[in-house]
Amino acid sequence: MSARTQHLETGARGETRAMLRLAWPLAASMLAIILVETTDVLMIARLGEEQLAAGALGFNLFILFLLFGVGASSAVSGLSAQALGAGDEAGVRRTFRQGLWLALLAAAPCAAALSQGDRILIALGQDPQLSALAQTYLDYMAWVPFPIFLILVLRNTMAALECVRTPMLMTFALVPLNILFNWIFMFGGLGLVAPMGLPGAGLGTLVIEGAGLLALLLYMTRAKRFRRFEFLKNLHRPDWPRFRSLARVGAPAGGLAVLEHAMFLSAALLMGWIGTRELAAYHIAIQICSILFVAPFALAQAATIRIGQAAGGRDLAAVRARGRTVLGLTVLVMGAAGVGLWVWAEALMRLFVGGEQTNAAELIALGAGYLAIAALFQLVDGLQIVACGALRGLNDTMAAFWLGLVGYIAAGSGFAYLFAFPLGWGGAGVWWGLAVGLAIVAALALLRFHLMTRDAAHAFRRLMQEAPPS
- Is 431 a residue whose pLDDT tops 90? yes
334: closest CA among 385, 287, 283? 385
Encode pLDDT of 91-108 as tens digits. Answer: 999 999 999 999 999 999
Q: What is the pLDDT of residue 9?
A: 45
The residue-averaged pLDDT of 416-434 equals 96
329 touches 21 (CB < 8 A): no
In angstroms, the CA 227 to CA 221 distance is 7
Domain boundaries, the chain: 3-459
Encode pLDDT of 111-160 as tens digits. Answer: 999 999 999 989 988 888 989 999 999 999 999 999 999 999 999 999 99
Q: Specify the range with the lowest mean pLDDT, choosing from 50-59, 175-184, 216-225, 384-393.
A: 50-59
Q: What is the pLDDT of residue 465?
A: 53
3-state secondary structure the chain: CCHHHCCCCCCHHHHHHHHHHHHHHHHHHHHHHHHHHHHHHHHHHCCCHHHHHHHHHHHHHHHHHHHHHHHHHHHHHHHHHHHHHCCCHHHHHHHHHHHHHHHHHHHHHHHHHHHCHHHHHHHCCCCHHHHHHHHHHHHHHCCCHHHHHHHHHHHHHHHHCCCCHHHHHHHHHHHHHHHHHHHHHHHCHHHCCCCCCHHHHHHHHHHHHHHHHHHHHHHHHHCHHHHHHCCCCCCCCCCHHHHHHHHHHHHHHHHHHHHHHHHHHHHHHHHHHHCHHHHHHHHHHHHHHHHHHHHHHHHHHHHHHHHHHHHHCCCHHHHHHHHHHHHHHHHHHHHHHHHHHHHHHHHHHHHHCCCCCCCHHHHHHHHHHHHHHHHHHHHHHHHHHHHHHHHHHCCCHHHHHHHHHHHHHHHHHHHHHHHHCCCCCCHHHHHHHHHHHHHHHHHHHHHHHHHHCCCHHHHCCCCCCCCCCC
Q: What are the φ/ψ torsions at residue 143 (nearest 5 degrees)?
A: -85, -15
Confidence band (pLDDT; 50, 70, 90) for 44? confident
The residue-averaged pLDDT of 21-31 equals 92
95 touches 157 (CB < 8 A): yes
| Percent of the chain predicted with pLDDT > 90 | 70
- Is 110 a residue whose pLDDT tops 60? yes
For residues 309 and 279, the model is more confident at 309
Confidence band (pLDDT; 50, 70, 90) for 351? confident
| Percent of the chain predicted with pLDDT > 70 | 95
Confidence band (pLDDT; 50, 70, 90) for 193? confident
What mean pLDDT value characterizes the chain?
90
Q: What is the pLDDT of residue 5?
A: 45
- Is 455 a residue whose pLDDT tops 80? yes
The residue-averaged pLDDT of 383-397 equals 96
Encode pLDDT of 226-274 as tens digits. Answer: 989 889 888 888 899 999 999 999 999 999 999 999 999 899 889 888 9
The residue-averaged pLDDT of 22-28 equals 92
- Is 468 a residue whose pLDDT tops 80? no
- End-to-end Cα separation, the chain, in angstroms: 31
Amino acid making up residue 163? C
Q: What is the pLDDT of residue 4?
A: 45
The residue-averaged pLDDT of 181-207 equals 92
For residues 184 and 360, the model is more confident at 184
Confidence band (pLDDT; 50, 70, 90) for 409? very high
Confidence band (pLDDT; 50, 70, 90) for 391? very high
Instruction: Tell me the chain's radius of gyration from C-alpha atoms.
Output: 22
Q: What is the pLDDT of residue 46?
A: 86
- Is 10 a residue whose pLDDT tops 80? no
Confidence band (pLDDT; 50, 70, 90) for 338? very high
Residues 6+ apart with CB under 8 A from 173: none
Q: What is the pLDDT of residue 462?
A: 86
Residues 6+ apart with CB under 8 A from 166: 158, 219, 223
Q: What is the pLDDT of residue 355?
A: 57
Q: What is the pLDDT of residue 8?
A: 45
The residue-averaged pLDDT of 354-378 equals 83
- Is 7 a residue whose pLDDT tops 70? no
190 touches 159 (CB < 8 A): no
- Is 467 a residue whose pLDDT tops 70? no
